[in-house]
Amino acid sequence: MPEAQLASYARKIESEIKIALIQRNMTQRELAKLIGTGTQQLNRAIKGDMTPKSRELRKKIEKILFIEG
């Protein structure tokens, strides 16, 4: 996948997660605590980091916030 497409997909994921957080009146800090991770690691996952840990966190986020993956 070209870099432009990856960047576009990362922005889409970030927007969906942030909108879902706002709709649930939840902060990233609260979400991190619920998932059992640190706020910095959660932020990297939200921003589209492609490490295995970030991918795992995004799956958990999608389940908790009911986002279609």
- Find out whether 43 and 28 touch, Cβ atoms under 8 Å: yes
Cα-based distances in Å from 18 to 1, 2, 40 = 24, 25, 15
18 pLDDT higher than 80:
yes
6: pLDDT confidence band, cut at 50, 70 and 90?
A: confident
Task: Name the pTM for this structure.
Answer: 0.86
7: pLDDT confidence band, cut at 50, 70 and 90?
A: confident
Structure tokens at 31: 């979400």
Cα 24 to its chain centre, rounded Å, is 15
Percentage with pLDDT > 90 across the chain: 81
Domains of the chain by residue range: 3-24+33-64
State the pLDDT at residue 16: 94
